[in-house]
Amino acid sequence: MTAAGGGRAGPDLATFGETMALLANPVVGPLRHATTLDVSVGGAESNAAIGLRRLGATAAWTGRVGDDELGRLVLARLRGEGLDVAAATVDPDAPTGLMIKERRTAWSTRVSYYRTASAASRLRPAHLDEALLGGARLVHVTGITPALSASAREATFAGVDVARDAGVPVSVDLNYRAALWPADEAGPVLRDLVARADLVFAGEDEAEMVLDAGDRGHPGRLAAGLARMGPRQAVVKRGPRGAVADVDGRTLHADALEVTAVDPVGAGDAFVAGYLRGALDGEDARGCLRLATLVGAFAVTVRGDWEGLPERQELALLAADADPVVR
């Protein structure tokens, strides 16, 4: 995938979707015993955009929040991370979505969503800035947004069509959420998104869900099956087992870096951010995979969906020979 030329007036990346307020239990144990909660924000699209921004790209996020303190929190936090949120809109009649993370054990995290009838679920095509999408070098969407509502689904495909009509490459991360819609409803929609994408990311289970039986099985077969649906590049994310990509008919493998995982939530978005930053820099697929696995490794070493995402000058910190103390 070649990102659109740098002469465009818009950002390197334009994305849209739901970013929620996030409350997290800072200690291990049932949430009911917590006496304090950490306050942050989280959303797949904005997580990836923050990752790109920290790596030196420009990024714009569009979405809807409620006219409430949580909505103001979302916009302030994204703006503080350098994202352009000028095209975001405030809904006076619907609340901002909420996510709660509970560290039930030292090695497991439970995530609960309160997003039914949220402001983001009322997203529709008219809320998108077509000039922003058409002027970006790359447009990124996920399979979460079309799951929010019929109007959000319409907006997702409208945004993708605007990008395609303008010659802007489209990246899609399937990001299936069983709590939002059943697999038999999601499958056809996600297949349609894959067919319109230049680059697609999927977990193994997500790839299995959208592929015919003959394309299922080994990760390399999954990546090839996704690529045959239309994208020039298809990447299957395998978490601590690395990733497999099919790029112009070639199968590429990448190992994950061995790190001590503190919080796995957001690792997939970090991986996407690294891969897209590589693509924007003109890296070949192997270079994109190396950067993706590196950024993903950084993300899991810190609590939070995006807080551990690295700045470009920090990338060498995970090298095998890196000094553990930087003075």
- With a CB cutoff of 8 Å and minimum separation 6, the contacts of 201 are 171, 172, 173, 174, 235, 237, 268, 271, 272, 275
Give the E-state strand segments of the chain in sequence order.
13-16, 20-24, 38-42, 59-62, 64-66, 89-91, 98-105, 108-114, 138-142, 170-173, 199-203, 233-237, 243-247, 250-254
Q: Which residue among the candidates 12, 173, 192, 269 is catalytic per the annotation?
A: 269
- Active-site residue flag, 269: yes
What average pLDDT does this structure show over 303-311? 89
* 3-state class (DSSP) for residue 65: strand
Q: How many CB atoms lie within 10 A of CB 231?
A: 25
> Domains in the chain, ordered, with CATH?
13-307 (3.40.1190.20)
Q: Nearest-CA neighbor of 8 among 135, 134, 163?
A: 135
Phi, psi (deg, nearest 5) at residue 202: -155, 145
d(CA 207, CA 187): 10
Please check whether residue 142 is in contact with residue 44, taking contact to mean a CB–CB distance below 8 angstroms.
yes
What average pLDDT does this structure show over 285-293? 95
Confidence grade of residue 70 (pLDDT, cut at 50, 70, 90): very high
Read off the pTM. Answer: 0.93
d(CA 259, CA 299): 10
Q: Looking at the predicted structure, is the pLDDT value of residue 215 above 90?
A: no
Q: Looking at the predicted structure, is the pLDDT value of residue 36 above 50?
A: yes
| pLDDT value for 264 | 75
d(CA 199, CA 13): 14
| pLDDT value for 8 | 67
